[in-house]
Amino acid sequence: MSGAPARRPGWSLQKQAGRTFLITGATSGIGREAAFALASAGARVVLAGRSPEKLAATAAAIGQSHPGAELERLVIDLASLDSVRAAGADAQRLGQIDVLVNNAGLMGGTGRSVDGLDLMAQTNHFAPFLFTGLLLPQLLQGERPRVVNVASLAHLLVRRAHVGDPYRRRREPQLRSYGRTKLANLLTTLELQRRSDRAGLGVLATAAHPGVAATNLLHNGREIADGSRAARLLDAALAGTTQSAAAGAAPTLVAATADLPGGSYVGPDGFLALRGRPVVQRPSRAARNEASAAALWDLSERVVGLSWP
Ligand SMILES: NC(=O)c1ccc[n+]([C@@H]2O[C@H](COP(=O)([O-])OP(=O)(O)OC[C@H]3O[C@@H](n4cnc5c(N)ncnc54)[C@H](OP(=O)(O)O)[C@@H]3O)[C@@H](O)[C@H]2O)c1
């Protein structure tokens, strides 16, 4: 954590009838838990994911627990910008979207996307940046549009954002590269809020992190066997502090539904923010750097070929 005192939002999940939430990565872990919770609160939930089979299975499971749940499915593979563009076009059938939750993410690996970008950077930052821009007109149809980006404590591993060549992975431990993508999520959240305010769009941008939660991401995390001090610390943290995926989804649900100021960042209140109840926290100094955020935004627009808002 970044040292600033946490503030408690005093939150519980209210009824969400009449509101539409689109969640990426809704087929596993935190996204799946958030989809269950929002469906149980009466929201229309758009399950977005790369596997049609997993989307069908998730929709069936939610429908079984919550008969009458209003569910939609949207196929999107963040590893392909063409797939993101196709999903943006397909999403038009859904009409107004009140809250977009950019949750899908990847931790580890050194592969490249079909677009030639570092796969982790594309999955965690560039593709969600494009998707958010494409969905903006549908978000603006509502009165209280909101964009939630799911970041990570790992952003603290990066003291300064280097907005460099997105086609080249820096020589550094994989966990730091992951932290870099999550720092990008926070920079983007705060920059979106500034741009929305300047343009009078009324979009609320928030971010969340789950601490450390037992999801499929951790299997990827364990594959980061680079022997670095950060990786050893991660292993120790996982062994001693992991909380359930449902508990890990709580900060996301707060960031998506609670009455919060723009730019709020929500995470667990326990030791080192690894677990606990959701509270508003302060992102790192690097995440609050406005020059880095503006440079990242400009670079992202060039990379994905879309200028917005
Ligand atoms: N778990 C933690 O302790 C932790 C800590 C900090 C931050 N986070 C963040 O929390 C978010 C959710 O992760 P999780 O922990 O719930 O992990 P998870 O169980 O692995 O879920 C990740 C989701 O992202 C989807 N996804 C991955 N690559 C994708 C792609 N190319 N296109 C579309 N969807 C893709 C996965 O789809 P499939 O189901 O098809 O695999 C899955 O639904 C991530 O942004 C992660 O960085 C998690």
Q: Which two tokens stand for residue 72?
A: 């939609």
Task: Please name the residue whose Cα sits nearest to atom 48 of ligand 1.
Answer: 210
Is the minimum distance from the CB of 219 to ligand 1 under 6 angstroms? no
Q: Which mutation among 28, 45, 122 tests ligand 1's pocket best, with the greatest number of atoms within 8 A of CB? A: 28
Helix %, strand %, coil % for the chain, to 5? Answer: 45, 15, 40
Residue 244 CA to ligand 1 centre (angstroms): 14
DSSP conformation class of 122: I
Report the pLDDT value the prediction gives residue 5, as an integer from 0 to 100: 39
Report the pLDDT value the prediction gives residue 44, as an integer from 0 to 100: 98
DSSP conformation class of 6: P
C-beta of residue 296 within 8 angstroms of C-beta of residue 184: yes
| Cα 101 versus chain centre, distance | 6
Ligand 1 atom closest to the CA of 107, numbered from 1:
47
For the stretch 92-150, pLDDT in tens is 999 999 999 999 999 988 889 999 999 999 999 999 999 999 999 999 999 999 999 99
Query: How does pLDDT run along the chain (309 residues), one tens digit per residue?
Result: 343 334 444 568 999 999 999 999 999 999 999 999 999 999 999 999 999 999 999 999 999 999 999 999 999 999 999 999 999 999 999 999 999 999 999 998 888 999 999 999 999 999 999 999 999 999 999 999 999 999 999 999 999 887 777 787 788 888 899 999 999 999 999 999 999 999 999 999 999 999 998 887 766 555 555 556 666 666 666 666 788 899 999 999 999 999 999 999 999 999 899 999 999 999 999 999 999 999 999 999 999 999 999
Report the pLDDT value the prediction gives residue 225, as an integer from 0 to 100: 53
Report the pLDDT value the prediction gives residue 234, as an integer from 0 to 100: 66
Residue 216 CA to ligand 1 centre (angstroms): 7
- In whole angstroms, give the CA distance from residue 50 to residue 209: 22
Ligand 1 atom closest to the CA of 182, numbered from 1:
47
Residue 123 CA to ligand 1 centre (angstroms): 10
Is the minimum distance from the CB of 268 to ligand 1 under 6 angstroms? no
- In whole angstroms, give the CA distance from residue 194 to residue 139: 17
C-beta of residue 205 within 8 angstroms of C-beta of residue 145: no
As a CATH number, domain 20-304 is 3.40.50.720
Report the pLDDT value the prediction gives residue 230, as an integer from 0 to 100: 65
Q: Active-site positions?
A: 178
Peptide bond into 309 cis (omega under 30): yes
**Taking the domains of the chain in order of start, what are their residue ranges?**
20-304
Is the minimum distance from the CB of 209 to ligand 1 under 6 angstroms? yes
Helix (H) or strand (E) holding 278: strand 278-281
Distances (CA, A) of 212 to 48, 89, 124, 216, 307: 23, 34, 17, 12, 34
Report the pLDDT value the prediction gives residue 15, as an integer from 0 to 100: 94
| Cα 154 versus chain centre, distance | 13
